[in-house]
């Protein structure tokens, strides 16, 4: 989706719970659309009311007590020819919202204490974990600004609803962490994958990243096992989820909140665990041919600790 959105400079509003990876998604769009320009991020909820205006628009020297003598450019000015990411846009003070709206309409800014306009060209991506329509009804967010921001609106679901994306993101974080520390990237064991898929992830992507940092540091032998994961993730007992030998993969009768594809992964992992990673025996439990099971293992990247045994 990031590649498609990068084709134009339309304003984008990203909505989702805290920690769902809204800034990561914004960075992906930036790297596809304006990779040679800066990516400037600012959290509207993290700045004191007295600083947010000067942070956004900059200031001229001597414009207020404590101001830098030469003045300083604001985040909007620094984002020229790049992307400006305003996180928690719902927390922007109401009196500053029309100023931002004017910048979007006129493509120019004036620093605090300044007397001249500075032209700016940037892509705007905003994000929030609040319902902006509720804020509009409470007169805490301007209607005209909302409709300017939401030319394209994206809702990022919480991690617990993203199924196999959990595993893909976990592997991405593992590789990133390993590269940063100049060590070989460990692989996730099937048991570890099982726990990642069953956990509810209240902290979303941010929690997953921290969990993988913990796991990489705790792992040994090039494999991340359940005991290497934070304890809250492994509280679900694997033995509670057993494979029904009469239930075929892809069956619509699976009673679980996960999708059929995600349940396939769990059933395959369970069958492998029950058979000590014997693919031939696992295939019998799942009513599959061995070649079909190998294909699904490859499709879902479940090799982990599998030992290929001869039938």
Instruction: Work out how many domains the chain is built from and give that number.
Output: 2
Is 307 part of any domain? Answer: no
- Of 133, 156, 179, the residue that ends a domain is 156
| Burial state string for 149-163 with b = 16 or more CB within 10 A and e = fewer than 16 | bbeeebebebbbebb
305 within domain boundaries: no
Range of the domain at 271: 161-299
Residues 33 and 134 in one domain: yes
Q: Dihedral, CA atoms, 207, 210, 216, 218, nearest 10 degrees? A: -90
Q: What CATH number is associated with residue 23? A: 3.40.50.300
Helix pair angle (260-274, 290-299), 10° resolution? 120
Confidence of residue 254 (pLDDT cuts 50, 70, 90): very low
Q: What is the CATH number of the domain that holds 230?
A: 1.10.8.60
Element of type H or E holding 53: helix 49-57
Looking at the fold, whether 138 and 193 belong to one and the same domain comes out as no
Label residue 182 exposed, middle or buried (CB < 10 Å: 0-12, 13-18, 19+): exposed
Give the H/E segment covering residue 260.
helix 260-274
In a domain, 310, yes or no: no
pLDDT in tens, 87-133: 999 999 999 999 999 999 999 999 988 889 999 999 999 999 999 99
pLDDT in tens, 212-247: 999 999 999 999 999 999 999 998 554 444 444 444
């Amino acid at each position: 989706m990031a590649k498609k959105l990068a084709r134009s400079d339309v304003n984008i509003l990203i909505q989702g719970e805290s920690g769902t990876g809204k800034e990561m998604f914004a960075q992906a769009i930036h790297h596809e659309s304006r990779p040679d320009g800066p990516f400037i991020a600012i959290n509207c909820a993290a700045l004191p009311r007295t600083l947010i205006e000067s942070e956004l628009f900059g200031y001229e020297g001597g414009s207020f007590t404590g101001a830098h003598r030469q003045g300083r450019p604001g985040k909007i000015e620094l984002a020229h020819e790049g992307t400006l990411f305003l996180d928690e846009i719902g927390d922007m003070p109401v009196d500053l919202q029309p100023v931002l709206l004017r910048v979007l309409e006129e493509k120019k800014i004036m620093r605090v204490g300044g007397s001249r306009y500075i032209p700016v060209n940037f892509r705007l991506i905003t994000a929030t974990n609040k319902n902006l329509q509720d804020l509009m009804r409470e007169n805490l967010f301007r209607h005209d600004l909302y409709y300017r921001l939401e030319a394209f609106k994206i809702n990022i679901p919480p991690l617990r609803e993203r199924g196999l994306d959990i595993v893909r993101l976990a592997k991405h974080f593992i590789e990133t962490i390993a590269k940063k520390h100049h060590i070989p990237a460990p692989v996730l064991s099937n048991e570890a994958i099982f726990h990642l898929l069953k956990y509810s992830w209240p902290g979303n992507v941010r929690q997953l990243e921290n969990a993988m940092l913990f796991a990489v540091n705790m792992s040994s032998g090039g494999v991340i096992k359940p005991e290497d994961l934070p304890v809250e993730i492994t509280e679900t007992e694997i033995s509670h989820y057993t494979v029904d030998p009469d239930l075929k993969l892809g069956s619509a009768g699976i009673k679980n909140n996960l999708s059929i594809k995600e349940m396939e992964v769990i059933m395959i992992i369970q069958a492998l665990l029950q058979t000590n990673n014997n693919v031939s025996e696992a295939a019998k439990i799942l009513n599959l041919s061995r070649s079909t099971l190998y294909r699904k293992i490859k499709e879902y990247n479940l090799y982990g600790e599998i030992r290929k045994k001869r039938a």
